[in-house]
Amino acid sequence: MASVLVVEDDQFVRSALIRHLTDASHTVRSVGTALEALREVAHHRFDVVILDLGLPDLDGSEALKMLRGITDVPVIIATARDDEAEIVRLLNAGADDYLTKPFSVEHLSARMAAVLRRSRAAGDGPPSGVLRVGGLTIDPLRRSAELDGAVLDLTRREFDLLAFLAGRPGVVVARRELLAEVWQQSYGDDQTIDVHLSWLRRKLGETAANPRYLHTLRGVGVKLEPPA
């Protein structure tokens, strides 16, 4: 059983989702706008959010960006848009999965189960202890990171990327593995990784030309190790 927030402005679709999820023994709350969704996640704990893109107050992609600013709850996008570039962009922006309308309740159940398994496995599995690599200190449980005692202001994805690499100091991690483990994607654009690495380097006070912690091996992958 999971606690689910349905964000859908179409009353017919919304009622059908509520009925199906309730019949499956899930606890369901529902709203019809992005701003209501933000208020809900700020005041209640959910296991998963089902987010429609065609909302009356904000486009769902903007709502996703705002949700990611305040919560790590898994988000499944429900959309009538089937453009591959748009779907990849949403996954890169923090969506955990997507469904193209119309979809069956069985399809929704399968996607929810997969997302919840990944979420619970990430919450239960290692690393749980504080990671230290040179002047970097990363606490996966508190989702906090410091460099030489100064707190780093990292986005959700930047923190996930840094923590994953810090859990394997000195090991070259292939880009395909980063996509699978950090982005939870079996495919994607290398540019996504490059952009996040660039943002992360900036916050670590380094550049690709003059790396301190993050080292890219062209055509191979990325490794994190302390400065020599």
Helical pair 156-166 and 190-203, crossing angle rounded to 10 deg? 90
Domains 3-124 and 131-224 fall in the same CATH topology: no
Cis peptide before 127 (omega within 30 of 0): yes
**Helices of type H across the chain:** 11-23, 34-43, 60-68, 84-92, 105-124, 156-166, 175-181, 190-203
Q: Rounded CA gap, 19 and 130, in Å?
A: 43
Q: Rounded CA gap, 27 and 193, in Å?
A: 36
Token output for 165: 């690499």
* pLDDT over threshold 70, residue 189: no
Q: pLDDT tens for residues 161-188? A: 999 999 888 889 888 888 888 877 766 6
- Which option is the CATH number for 131-224: 1.10.10.60, 3.60.15.10, 1.10.10.10, 3.30.310.50? 1.10.10.10
Give 137's contacts (C-beta < 8 A, 6+ positions apart). 130, 131, 145, 146, 147
Please report, for the chain, the start and end positions of each structural domain, with discontinuous segments joined by +.
3-124, 131-224
- Site of tokens 């486009």: 59
Q: Which of 26-35, 115-124, 169-178 has the highest mean pLDDT?
A: 26-35
* pLDDT over threshold 50, residue 200: yes
State how far the alpha carbon of 155 is from the alpha carbons of 12, 55, 59, 189, 200, in Å.
36, 25, 21, 19, 9
* pLDDT over threshold 80, residue 117: no
**pLDDT the model gives residue 126:** 44
**Helices of type H across 60-129:** 60-68, 84-92, 105-124
Task: Report the top-level CATH class of 3-124.
Answer: alpha beta
Q: Rounded CA gap, 207 and 199, in Å?
A: 10
Q: pLDDT tens for residues 45-95? A: 898 999 998 899 988 788 888 888 788 888 999 888 777 777 877 887 788
